[in-house]
Amino acid sequence: MPKPEPKYVLDLSKLTRDHVLSTYVGKDGACCCGCSGEHMYVEATRALAGEERGYDVDDDEVNEEGFDDCLEVIRDNAEDAEVNEDHVAVRLGGEVHIAYLHPDFVKGWVGVPAKSCQVFEHPMAGVA
Ligand SMILES: [Zn+2]
C-alpha cells in the first residue's frame, strides 16, 4: 500500500499543549515507568490521559509548570529531538524529556520524517 500523502507537518519548535497529552522528565537511559523521573499531566487533559493509560491521573501527577517546562525544552532543542510513533524525546544534560502526543494527533500517523527530526508528517489537518 502506498504511503498516504501527508497533509500536515508539525515543526517541533512550535510544539504546544494541543499536541501533547503527557510529558516525562527523568534520568536519561533509565527506566521510564516513573521510578527514575516524573510523568506530568495538566488539568485540561487529565481525564483523557487517565482514560488512555487505563487508570486515573492522581492530583500529585498534575504539574502544569513542569509540563510546560518539558515542552519548552523540546521546542528549544527541536533539532535534536528523536521522533517516534507516539512521542518525541530530547536528551539533554543527563535527562530525557519526552512528550507523549495527543491521541487525536497520532491518529493517522504516516511515519517519521525522511530528512529531519525537526518536523514530522501527519495527515491530520487543522492541528497547529
Ligand atoms: Zn521504572
pLDDT digits (tens, 9 = 90+) for 8-23: 566 788 889 988 999 9
Report pTM: 0.79
Q: How far is the CA of 12 from the centre of ligand 1 (A)?
A: 27
Question: Does residue 125 fall inside a structural domain?
Answer: no
Which is more confidently placed, 34 or 99?
99
Structural domains counted in the chain: 1
Rounded Cα gap, residues 102 and 10, in angstroms: 13
Backbone angles phi, psi at 83, to 5 degrees: -105, 120
Question: Does residue 52 fall inside a structural domain?
Answer: yes
Question: Does residue 79 fall inside a structural domain?
Answer: yes
Residue 79 binned pLDDT confidence (cut-offs 50, 70, 90)? confident
Q: How confident is the model over 85-127, as pLDDT tens digits? A: 778 899 999 999 999 988 776 654 444 433 333 344 444 433 4
Question: Does residue 91 fall inside a structural domain?
Answer: yes
Domain that includes residue 20, residue range? 15-107
Q: How far is the CA of 22 from the centre of ligand 1 (A)?
A: 17
Q: How far is the CA of 121 from the centre of ligand 1 (A)?
A: 31
Question: Does residue 72 fall inside a structural domain?
Answer: yes
Question: Does residue 60 fall inside a structural domain?
Answer: yes
Question: Does residue 128 fall inside a structural domain?
Answer: no
